[in-house]
Amino acid sequence: MKTPAIEFKAIGNKLHLIYRPHDGTQWVYRKFKAGDHVTVKGTFCLTRQLLVNDDVDDWTEIDGWQPRTDPDEFDFDWGGEDRMDFVIASAKGAYFSFDAAALPVGVPVLVHRKVRPTWKWFCAERKTSILSVVAQLKMSRIVIGGPMPDAIPVVEFEKLIAQFPTAHELKRYVAARISGVVREYTDAEIDGEAQLRKTVARKIKATPRDLAAPFREADVRKFEYLLAHLKTMLANPNAYKESHWQAEIVKIICLLNPKYIAAFSGVRVNGPDTRSYRILDILLVDASGNIDVVEIKQPFGEAMVTPRRYRNNHVPMRELSGTVMQIEKYLLLLTRWGSKGEETLTARYASRLPPGFKIRVVNPCGLVIMGRDADMTSDQRDDFEVTRRHYKHIADIVTYDDLLRRLEAVLSKLRDGPEV
């Protein structure tokens, strides 16, 4: 029967370490009699003073005895009960407090009295003291289990142990560190970094959390409201002033695109000379300070492309092509304005932006929101998509039916919950 070389047993107010050396206790007694200590697996420092029954003086060495193998071996076949008991921790309230000399990690170590530690809690491969590694993080103490506010839960501590690198993983790590350089200049075929990633991935048991769960119900209500509100607006667009319409739609856009942190309307942009200028409908600012230009038109009755064909194609309506051309000029003016424009816009809207925030004019993009597509024929839809892709380098063209579909898709996703 295989028996671990180290076991722990709580006896009264003491925690005992039971040590069964691989080649018997002869070599341990010899060290103790000489005044030395024994270090087990680079972790526990066992001394004569910790023995439960100090019978060192009564011990007599067997003539010709020699250890055959490394006495640090942890699993072995043992038929007798040649063991030594050491007191390594004493009870303090609900915890066992380890003797600092027996477990020299540099900080106090406490283990809740109801937990049952094993040697794997303390020792990793290559005689590595797990708690010594943990203590390098400079906490005031290490507490495992129990109600203490700074206690590491037993389940989490065992997960930590499971993540400790094995000898195989350490070899993979070394290979990964040198692999990038070696593969850059030689014909080496093995990718050490890829091997390390695969090795580590096999150990990871954690699954992604559903971070959206606490907010899903509120998000569903939010997007249900937005969808209903947009449908109400589209049912009677003539009831809104243009400025009111634009303000309502831009709120929906920002909620669908959370990267934007601010929206400014009626933005004045200087022209080629200081005397001329243009007024932008909407200027959107993202979290990095980059800007995009939005043109919002109230929906008109006609489709976005002509109902009749011109040379066998449904070409863009004048309103659409004119709006794209208008936004292209805005983008050109902003780009030419450059750093001066950045300074001007930042100063103008500083009170409505976070402290120290700077607006940046870096390849701004355009967004056109106008028209409907629900009543288009199949051919019209195809030609409209060609038009959209043709203008893609200038602006994204979004219809109000696109907005409805996006809101419905978001709602469907939220109601379905996370992907399995």
Q: Summarize pLDDT for 324-357 with one digit per residue, the tens.
A: 999 999 999 999 998 999 999 999 999 999 999 9
Token representation of residue 77:
């076949």
> Would residue 209 count as lying in a domain?
no
- pTM > 0.85: yes or no: no
- What's the pLDDT tens digit per position in 387-409? 889 989 999 999 999 999 999 99
Domain-embedded: residue 183: yes
**Are 6 and 52 part of one and the same domain?**
yes
Do 38 and 154 fall within a single domain?
A: yes
Q: Are residues 222 and 264 in the same domain?
A: yes
Asked whether residue 172 falls in the same domain as residue 144, the answer is: no
Could you read off the pLDDT of 96-130 as tens digits, one per residue? 999 999 999 999 999 999 999 998 899 887 678 88
Residue 184 sits in the same domain as residue 333: no
Q: Does residue 129 belong to any structural domain of this protein?
A: yes
Are 302 and 364 in a shared domain? Answer: yes
Mean per-residue pLDDT over the chain, rounded: 85
Question: Is the domain of 193 the same as that of 250?
Answer: no
- Tell me: do 121 and 57 sit in the same domain: yes
Percent of the residues in the chain that have a pLDDT greater than 90, as a whole number: 48
Q: What is the mean pLDDT of residues 287-304?
A: 87
Q: Is residue 223 domain-shared with residue 151, that is, in the same domain?
A: no
Residue after which a domain boundary falls, among 180, 203, 226: 203
**Could you tell me the residue range of the domain that residue 153 belongs to?**
2-162
Residue 208 lies in a domain: no
Residues 172 and 311 in one domain: no
Which of 66-70, 106-110, 296-300, 361-365 comes out lowest in average pLDDT? 66-70
The reported pLDDT for the residue numbered 79 is 41
- Residues 118 and 221 grouped into a single domain: no
When divided into structural domains, the chain yields a total of 3
- Please tell me whether residues 179 and 246 are part of one structural domain: no
